[in-house]
Amino acid sequence: MGKQRVAVVGIGQTKHQATRGDVSMAGLVREAALRALADAQMTWADIDAAVVGKAPDFFEGVMMPELFLADALGCTGKPLFRVHTAGSVGGSTAIVAAQLVQAGIHERVLTVAFEKQSESEAMWALSLPIPFTPPLHAGAGGYFAPHVRSYIRRAKAPDHIGILVALKDRQNGLKNPYAHLHEHDISFDSIKDSLMLWDPIRYAETCPSSDGACALVLGSERVADAAAADGRKPAWIQGTAMRSEPTLSAERDTVLPLGGALCAADVYRQAGITNPRKDVDCVEMYVPFSWFEPMWLENLGFAEPGEGWKLTEAGVTALDGDLPVNMSGGVLCTNPIGASGMLRFAEAAMQVRGTAGDHQVDGARRAVGHAYGGGSQFFAMWVVGADKP
């Protein structure tokens, strides 16, 4: 028996903000899950299994939170599975959920990813001091800044590219009612003048810390066909891939990680994509710091090495461009870390379902969702389309 078809038939997310003081961790997860169920026109009873993802447990200080979230996800007595792959976890969680349907094990799987960053300090949680090793970085930005600097040098990219990405994503975020940041007064100059946090990454080129959750309902071909017959378009999953590589191996290229390139090649092969630049209508990729847009454009094969920034500069990646990138406003507008990858995957699915509202790309039929995590070492991607694979 070959792989079964699987589609996204329900999507839900919370309103993301710095502190969701009105809900518990369980209440936050549930809010996204209930919206996904409503979108799929299902109840808890319809769900066969749940797959939960989040970034490191010490971000909130609750070990294995999936155990106490079973009630909140209507999962008592049902299979409940936890995934953890650092920042890419939202993507890999959705992929694991999809595999449960592809393998013919379940027909309707709920998958949820979340982070409640207000309950701790992810910035310092990502700055673990190591005895007898000089403290080299403060937060993820400190870790990634040298990668960005290296990219700028290798690609001979002009300084303002990062600012252009930040401006585009923050303006896209204004069209997304769920986005954490809605900065109406943002401008090229306000970004340029913002504090330099980790040279060359400015404050306004940096993602926020958010509370939020995202949920998807994945259905078998039978379930998705029924939804389509009812006028609710499924997003068919045309390919999924995950790759990882060690953080500190000496030969590793952190600007163009091999794991990311292999992940992209695998998912394109599954989806029958031979020229991603032409065959893909829009991309939602994991860009927590502005410069990662041109870097990932190259890593994912949308541009040759050293050429990614030219797409950004030419406006190709704008919402009305030839290859829109981060239509939702991306991680730069919303970053509940564990959910951030799934939000990318969800946005890709919303685009091909035609349900992305004001940030909809006209006629989007095939979209890529991408997430990365750790020290640019965990990668997860999927290709979703309006058409069955």
Partner 1 sequence: MFVDQVDLSEARAPTSVRRKLKPVLLWSAVTDTTQGAGAGEILSAPLIIEYPFKRTTGPVIGAFLTGLRERVLIGSRAEDGRVIVPPAEFDPVSGNDLTELVEVGPAGVVTTWAWVSAPHAKHPLDRPFAWAQIRPDGADTSMLGAVDAGAMENMQTGMRVTPVWADEREGHICDIARWIPESDGGNA
Q: Which residues of this protein are in contact with partner 1, per CB under 8 A? A: 19-27, 30, 44, 58, 60-61, 71-76, 116, 118-121, 124-125, 127-129, 131-132, 135, 138
Minimum distance between the CB of residue 45 and partner 1, rounded to whole angstroms? Answer: 8
User: Are the C-beta atoms of 219 and 9 separated by less than 8 Å?
Assistant: yes
What b/e string do you get for 8-40 counting C-beta neighbours within 10 Å, with b at 16 or more? bbbbbbbebbeebeeeebbebbbbbbbbbbebb
Identify which of residues 110 and 342 has a Cβ nearer to partner 1 in the complex.
110
Identify which of residues 128 and 314 has a Cβ nearer to partner 1 in the complex.
128
Identify which of residues 138 and 262 has a Cβ nearer to partner 1 in the complex.
138
Closest among 216, 202, 122 to 170, alpha carbons compared: 202
Minimum distance between the CB of residue 87 and partner 1, rounded to whole angstroms? Answer: 18
Minimum distance between the CB of residue 65 and partner 1, rounded to whole angstroms? Answer: 12
Minimum distance between the CB of residue 43 and partner 1, rounded to whole angstroms? Answer: 9
Minimum distance between the CB of residue 19 and partner 1, rounded to whole angstroms? Answer: 8
| 3-state SS track over 44-60 | HHHCCEEEEECCCHHHC
Identify which of residues 20 and 180 has a Cβ nearer to partner 1 in the complex.
20
Q: What is the DSSP string of 185-219?
A: T--HHHHHTS-EEETTEEGGGB----EEEEEEEEE
C-alpha distances out from residue 288 to 25, 182, 303, Å? 23, 16, 20
- Paired with 193 in beta bridges are none
Identify which of residues 134 and 231 has a Cβ nearer to partner 1 in the complex.
134
At 80 the three-state DSSP class reads strand
Minimum distance between the CB of residue 74 and partner 1, rounded to whole angstroms? Answer: 3
Q: Omega of the bond prior to 131 within 30 degrees of 0, cis?
A: no
Identify which of residues 120 and 355 has a Cβ nearer to partner 1 in the complex.
120
In angstroms, rounded to a whole number, what is the distance separating the alpha carbons of residues 278 and 256?
21
Minimum distance between the CB of residue 90 and partner 1, rounded to whole angstroms? Answer: 21
Identify which of residues 44 and 81 has a Cβ nearer to partner 1 in the complex.
44
At 6 the three-state DSSP class reads strand
